Structure 1
């Protein structure tokens, strides 16, 4: 009976162990918040998630204003929570993300520059953190505008896992 329980535990651990080998994450030297790159194993299932925008945080404000959605950090956290939900619905987790492209507009009060520190603060709550120690290969670019004047950031991700 004891060996049956041990065998069941080993079988339960197999998907996690297999998933750990799906993406070879190539770190930066010196250490950085992002990877140099990532190599996805042949046969992995890959999920390309379209760019996501923040959800409103203050419904009392007009939906066309930044105030309705928050600053760059707030919008970043909102987007990652949305991505987390979308991934979960498909059986993925945030730790399955290996590639990210981030589009950021000029933030109010930043003299026409993006709030990169605000984005990185939100990013740090989801990647290279206790809940998800993984980092991703990432590109971050400043753009002239997004789908509306209320949006400061849009994030698209690609995730991979072992085929089921």
Structure 2
């Protein structure tokens, strides 16, 4: 800014700066969540996401698979969907239901952290392929779900129940109204 700047120019500059800080794309309205794709990749996650300051972050605690077969022992993975794919589907359905109860949907998910236990049937290694088979039923289809979250996936030694192979926590964004 030069010393010859006029007061109206300074006020316009200040108004634009405040609008940007408030998460507005323009002084006329709220900005949208911006999802940056991974360059030259079709992998179903976002490389980065920008959340406007005007949006509300909604953090869900980690979800483990729900019981799907009550005839199985509570320490049997089959009680919770069996393998990593089945448990992933159960967890994501539970997350979808919780989000719906909050007036949100899977399209509002911007960040996901996935914890996978090594599958004994896979030599103690996480079943990433099985996880992806379940995950892509909810994310990655441009027609059903164009909004991809950022995501980290970790192999962990164990979860709260030895039968759990999957735990997922998510962050969603409630757009400003």
Aligned to 2:150: 137
Matched, 1:104 2:99: no
> 2: CA distance between counterparts of 1:22 and 1:160?
10
The structure with higher relative contact order (CA 8 Å, sep 6+) is 1
Q: Deviations over 1:37-70 (max 9, x none)?
A: 1110111011000100001121111011112111
Gaps of 5+ in 2: 1-28
CA distance in 1, matches of 2:46, 2:144: 18
TM-score by length of structure 2 reads 0.79
Which has the higher mean CA deviation after the structures are superposed, 89-98 or 22-31?
22-31
Match of 1:79 in 2: 91
**Gap regions ≥5 residues in structure 1:** 1-17
**Structure 1 counterpart of 2:50, from 5, 30, 39:** 39
Q: Which has the larger radius of gyration?
A: 2
1:158: Cα distance to partner? 0.4
Aligned structure 1 segments of 4 or more residues deviating by more than 3 angstroms = none
- 1:131 shift after superposition: 2.1
Give the SS at the match of 1:36.
Answer: strand
Are positions 1:57 and 2:61 aligned together?
Answer: no
Number of aligned positions between the proteins: 146
CA distance in 2 between partners of 1:143 and 1:50 (Å):
17
Paired residues of 1:22 and 1:161 also in contact (CA < 8 A): no
Aligned counterparts of 1:134 and 1:127: Cα–Cα separation in 2: 8
1:163 CA drift (Å):
2.6
In structure 2, the residue corresponding to 1:41 is in which secondary structure? coil
- Root mean square deviation of aligned Cα: 1.4
